[in-house]
Amino acid sequence: MYNQTDAILSQYEIEVNEVVKGRGSYICSTNQGMKVLLPFSGSKEKGEFLRTYLNLLQENGFIVEQIMANAKGEAITEEEGTGERFLLKDYFPGIELNTGQITEMEEAVALLANYHKVSQMVQNCVPERMKESIGNVIDSRQRHYRELVKVKNYIKNRKKKNEFEQIYMKHFLPMLVTAEASMKELEKISQKNPKCDICHGEFNQHNVIYRENKWYMVNFENFMYSWSVMDLANFLRKMLEKTSWDTALGMRLIEVYDKHYSLSKEDMCQLYGLLLFPEKFWKITNHYINSRKAWISGRDIDKLKKVIEQEQARLNFMENLFKKL
């Protein structure tokens, strides 16, 4: 019987002792230590660059998981027939960041700042093709904005509206106003050729782990070349959504980052523009439009109510951040 995992692993010059299924991956015990095999959605070229980049980070003192080359010396291994791509990397087990611990959040944001500092040291390795994708910052927000308007128009034309749709329409306009203000800020920033970094892409509590008395960043597969503060904005949003947009906490995390990797006035403007967009409201909108409309779960209604309840606190934080510009 064909076993996809065995077929992929057979293309590596290692001895595999045991394979255990993980969350969307396979954890492998090998003669070269613990490895994890997982699908890779990017191109082969992107995978090769990622392997080179992670190696450069480590050479410059920032310890991260490394990608193992297959028998052909390639970072990405394709399954014959389907063409599905995989990579095999070091397995970094550890304890995820606890979002209930302020000290851990501070240590994580300091880790992020140090990562960006090292990343700047190896910027000359970034392929020109990768730099061309920088416009995605604006493009993605424009798509999100259009989707907000599309969903509003869809719900408006529905004769019988459920509870979710009634709440959505009641609070839609203020959210759209902040989305428009965010778009204007981002457009102004984009014209100034903002500083860029190789961003982690998904810097959140799930990808920051504690092991051997130290914090590590893991899972770089969604890395991107983007505005320097993109990772910081995403991390702040995640942490503040879980703390009802605690202004003191948000400003403290920015202060810690700045202490380790100085934020310029332009960086702060970028941060403001990115955080001003009602991202969580858009995510709920996106989930709604891609789900069945005949029945809306109570969980989705609760999520919408929570975002609306937190909006004033979010705007208070944004007002305090604006004063720093």
The count of other CB atoms within 10 Å of the CB of residue 214 is 11
Q: What is the pLDDT of residue 133?
A: 63
Point out the domain boundary residue: 41, 60, 91: 91
**The domain that contains 51 carries what CATH number?**
3.30.200.20
3-state DSSP percent of the chain in helix, strand and coil, to 5 = 55, 15, 30
Query: Concatenated DSSP letters for 167-214?
Result: HHHHHHHHHHHHHHHHHHHHHHHHTT---EEEE-S--SGGGEEEETTE
Cα dihedral value 10, 16, 18, 24, nearest 10: -50
Contact between 8 and 37 under an 8 Å Cβ cutoff? The reply is yes
Same domain? 70 vs 214: no
Same domain? 86 vs 126: no
Same domain? 26 vs 102: no
This model's pTM is above 0.85: yes
Same domain? 202 vs 280: yes
Same domain? 77 vs 153: no
Same domain? 119 vs 164: yes
State the Cα–Cα distance between residues 35 and 53, nearest whole angstrom: 19
Same domain? 289 vs 230: yes
pLDDT one-digit tens code per residue, 201-230: 999 999 999 999 999 999 999 998 888 899
Going by DSSP bridges, is the β-strand pair 95-96/208-211 parallel, antiparallel, or unpaired?
Answer: antiparallel
Point out the domain boundary residue: 49, 64, 91: 91
Q: Which residues make Cβ contacts (< 8 Å) with residue 71, sequence separation at least 6? A: 11, 12, 13
Total number of domains constituting the chain: 2
Contact between 70 and 89 under an 8 Å Cβ cutoff? The reply is no
The count of other CB atoms within 10 Å of the CB of residue 83 is 7
Q: Give the domain extent around 38.
A: 4-91
Same domain? 19 vs 36: yes
Give the angle subtended at the CA of 113 by the CAs of 195 and 279, to the nearest 5°.
70
pLDDT one-digit tens code per residue, 75-118: 999 988 788 999 999 999 999 999 999 999 999 999 999 999 99
**The domain that contains 135 carries what CATH number?**
3.90.1200.10
Look over the chain and give the mean of its residue pLDDT values, rounded to a whole number. 92
| Residue 127 in this model has a pLDDT that exceeds 90 | no
For the chain, strand residue ranges (E) read: 16-21, 26-30, 33-39, 67-68, 77-78, 85-90, 95-96, 196-199, 208-211, 214-217, 224-227
Band (1; pLDDT cuts 50, 70, 90): very low
* 214-217 sheet: strands from edge to edge: 95-96, 208-211, 214-217
Point out the domain boundary residue: 60, 76, 91: 91
Same domain? 21 vs 158: no
| Residue 46 in this model has a pLDDT that exceeds 50 | yes
Same domain? 39 vs 71: yes
pLDDT one-digit tens code per residue, 259-276: 999 999 999 999 999 999
Lowest mean pLDDT among 165-169, 194-198, 310-314: 194-198
Same domain? 285 vs 312: yes
Query: Residue 141: which of 174, 182, 195, 99 has the closest Cα?
Result: 182
State the Cα–Cα distance between residues 325 and 321, nearest whole angstrom: 7
Side chain identity, residue 69 = A
Same domain? 178 vs 45: no
State the Cα–Cα distance between residues 271 and 116, nearest whole angstrom: 15
